[in-house]
């Protein structure tokens, strides 16, 4: 199964992915400091599955807060893991903290 989650290494790459997407974007932000690492690893698994399930209806992007500081600020991210759903480049919904697959589905289904 191919991975469907984009992993930009810098803000320019994040912006490129956002600009090229013809569908809404679920951007989730991870942190690499010790307290954030485990919840972010769990979210990697959740979002990988979500990206497969919502293929064609959603673009998933995993952004590291320290590597994409402008995207982090633009999306109003203050902690990790955090989520933002963007439509046509504009944030329409935010979420913070680890979420189960069912919670992410509910989050998406209420805003897509």
46-101 pLDDT, tens digit per residue, is 999 999 999 999 999 999 999 999 999 999 999 999 999 999 989 999 999 999 99
Confidence of residue 3 (pLDDT cuts 50, 70, 90): low
10-21 pLDDT, tens digit per residue, is 999 999 999 999
Domain 5-109 has CATH 3.90.1150.10: no
Mean pLDDT of the 92-111 span? 94
What pLDDT is stored for residue 80 in this prediction?
94
49: Cβ contacts below 8 Å, ≥ 6 apart: 101
- Contact in structure between 69 and 93 (CB atoms under 8 Å): no
């Amino acid at each position: 199964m191919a991975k469907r989650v984009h992993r930009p290494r810098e803000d320019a790459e994040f912006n490129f992915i956002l600009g090229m997407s013809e569908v809404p974007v679920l951007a989730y932000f991870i942190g690499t400091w010790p307290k954030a690492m485990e919840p972010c690893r769990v979210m990697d698994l959740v979002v990988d599955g979500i990206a497969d399930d919502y293929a064609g209806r959603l673009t998933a992007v995993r952004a590291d807060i320290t590597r994409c500081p402008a995207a982090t600020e633009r999306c109003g991210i203050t902690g990790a893991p955090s989520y933002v759903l963007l439509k046509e480049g504009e944030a329409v919904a935010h979420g913070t903290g680890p979420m189960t697959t069912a919670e992410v589905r509910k989050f998406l289904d209420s805003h897509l």
